[in-house]
């Protein structure tokens, strides 16, 4: 079976700064993976490389067997760590925008999720609260029938009820044969939806393991084990 997401000796440096150092990863289809590490560990750099926003310094990254490019952009759905949608648009215009750009966009799915949100689809994004914008952006991302979902801090900076909504939306709406990679610091919140985790520190992957293996081997939750490994 071809890995959905694979890194082979992947390195990225910015001048003298080594952001990623010889990363090797292989993730099979049908997995929800937590990308976990302290600030500055390389998580966002890895996600940007996978999305084709950066180029490797050494090694390679493969999405469904192909290097990032137009072919992979058609199967990757990316949620950046900041709201990046045009603020003058309303939800209907945003759906038009996604439908034009992505052949795998399921408008019916998006409309159903927006309906459950009770959102006025003619309200401009600029008039929405931060939490509502986060939800709308996630709905657009999860309404694609992608092979790989890259979610960078999807629950950062929102209230606990919104976090629950976002995690429920992720789990209910991804293709079970796809891979979801979630970068987050809020491990205790997201742990319940994860199949496996990647620990990354100073640009190196220090652990790739299933959530069940961590609990059985160490007698801890992922959050507890992370705190133990990365304690100051």
Which domains are seen in the chain, by residue range?
5-229 (3.40.50.300)
Output the six-digit token pair for 200: 């990354």
The 3 state secondary structure assigned to 75-87 is CEEEECCCCCCCC
Buried/exposed code over 70-97 (b: 16+ C-beta within 10 A; e: otherwise)? eebeebbbbbbbeeebeeebbbebbbee
pLDDT given for residue 102 in this prediction: 92
pLDDT digits (tens), the chain, 232 positions: 689 999 999 999 999 999 999 999 999 999 999 999 998 899 999 999 999 999 999 999 999 999 999 889 899 999 988 878 889 999 999 999 999 999 999 999 999 888 888 888 899 999 998 888 888 998 899 899 999 999 998 877 677 877 788 788 888 877 888 999 999 888 888 898 999 999 999 999 999 999 999 999 999 999 999 999 988 6
Centre a 10 Å sphere on the Cβ of residue 208 and count the other Cβ atoms it contains.
15
Tokens of 33: 């993976």
pLDDT of residue 169: 82
Q: How far apart are CA 100 and CA 44, in angstroms?
A: 27
Alpha carbons 214 and 167: distance in angstroms, whole number: 21
3-state secondary structure of 195: coil
Q: Are strands 76-79 and 17-27 parallel, antiparallel or unpaired?
A: unpaired
Q: In the prediction, which pLDDT does 174 show?
A: 78
Reported pTM: 0.93
DSSP secondary structure code for residue 192 in this structure: G
Q: Calculate Rg over the CA atoms of the chain.
A: 18
Q: Tell me which residue has tokens 């959050």.
A: 223
**Cα dihedral 182→23→204→17 (10° resolution):** -100
Length of the chain: 232
Cβ atoms within 10 Å of 173's Cβ, excluding its own: 20
Q: How far is CA 132 from the centre of its chain?
A: 18
For residue 230, give the DSSP letter. T
For residue 20, which of 185, 205, 209 has the smallest C-alpha distance? 205
- DSSP helix/strand/coil, 61: strand
């Amino acid at each position: 079976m071809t890995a959905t997401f694979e890194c082979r000796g992947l390195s990225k440096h910015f001048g003298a700064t080594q952001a990623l150092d010889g990363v090797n990863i292989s993730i099979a289809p049908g997995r929800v993976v937590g990308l976990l590490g302290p600030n500055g560990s390389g998580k966002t750099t890895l996600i940007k490389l996978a999305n084709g926003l950066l180029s490797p310094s050494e090694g390679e990254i493969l999405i469904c067997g192909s290097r990032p490019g137009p072919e992979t952009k058609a199967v990757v759905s990316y949620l950046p760590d900041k709201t990046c949608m045009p603020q003058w648009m309303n939800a209907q215009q945003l759906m038009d925008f996604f439908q034009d750009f992505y052949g795998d966009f399921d408008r019916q799915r998006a409309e159903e999720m927006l309906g459950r949100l009770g959102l006025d689809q003619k309200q401009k994004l600029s008039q929405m609260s931060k939490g509502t914008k986060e939800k709308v952006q996630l709905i657009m991302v999860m309404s694609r029938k992608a092979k790989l979902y890259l979610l960078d801090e999807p629950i950062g900076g929102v209230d606990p009820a919104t976090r629950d909504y976002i995690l429920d939306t992720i789990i209910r709406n991804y293709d079970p044969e796809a891979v979801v990679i979630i970068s987050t610091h809020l491990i205790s919140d997201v742990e319940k939806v994860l199949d496996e985790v990647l620990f990354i520190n100073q640009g190196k992957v220090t652990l790739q393991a299933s959530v069940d293996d961590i609990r059985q081997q160490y007698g801890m939750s992922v959050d507890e084990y992370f705190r133990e490994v990365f304690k100051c």
